[in-house]
Amino acid sequence: MIHQLIFTDLDGTLLNHNDYSFEDAKEAIDYIKKKSIPLIIVTSKTFAEVRILQEKLGIQCPFIVENGAGIFIPPDSIFAQAMPQENRYIKISQSRSYLELRLFFKQLQKEYPLRGFGDMQVREVMDLTGLGETGAKYSMQRDFTEPFILEGETDLNALQNRVAEAGLEIVKGGRFFHLISSGQDKAKAMKHLTHMYEEHFNKKLQMIALGDSANDFTMLKSADIGVLIPLYDGSFADIDTDDIIKAEFPGPKGWNKALLEILDVR
Please state the domain extents for the chain. 4-93+186-262, 98-181
pLDDT tens, position by position, for the chain (266 residues)? 789 999 999 999 999 988 899 999 999 999 999 999 999 999 999 999 999 999 999 999 999 999 999 999 998 888 877 776 666 898 999 899 999 999 999 999 999 999 999 999 999 999 999 999 999 999 999 999 999 999 998 999 999 999 999 999 998 877 899 999 998 999 999 999 999 999 999 999 999 999 999 889 999 999 999 999 999 999 999 888 889 999 999 999 999 999 999 999 86
Look at residue 242 in the predicted model and tell me its pLDDT.
87
Round to whole Å and give the CA distance between 213 and 173: 6
**In Å, what is the CA distance from 237 to each residue of 19, 39, 196, 230?**
20, 23, 31, 7
Active site residue 9: yes
DSSP helix/strand/coil, 224? coil
| CATH number attached to the domain at 4-93+186-262 | 3.40.50.1000
Parallel, antiparallel or unpaired: strands 70-73 and 90-92: antiparallel
Span 51-77, pLDDT tens digits: 999 999 999 999 999 999 999 999 888
Catalytic residue among 9, 24, 185, 216: 9
- Type of residue at 118: G
114 phi and psi, to 5 degrees? -115, 150
Q: Strand 63-65's sheet: what is its strand order?
A: 63-65, 70-73, 90-92
Task: Assess contact for 32 and 65: CB atoms under 8 A.
Answer: no
Round to whole Å and give the CA distance between 216 and 213: 5
Architecture per CATH, domain 98-181, reads as 2-Layer Sandwich (3.30)
Look at residue 91 in the predicted model and tell me its pLDDT.
92
Round to whole Å and give the CA distance between 263 and 210: 14
DSSP helix/strand/coil, 59? coil
Contacts 24+ apart (CB under 8 A), 130-139: 130/18, 130/19, 130/20, 131/20, 135/20, 135/49, 138/46, 138/48, 138/49, 138/52, 139/45, 139/46, 139/48, 139/49
Task: Assess contact for 70 and 34: CB atoms under 8 A.
Answer: no
Task: Assess contact for 200 and 171: CB atoms under 8 A.
Answer: no
Domains 4-93+186-262 and 98-181 share a fold: no
Sign of CA dihedral 245, 246, 248, 252: positive
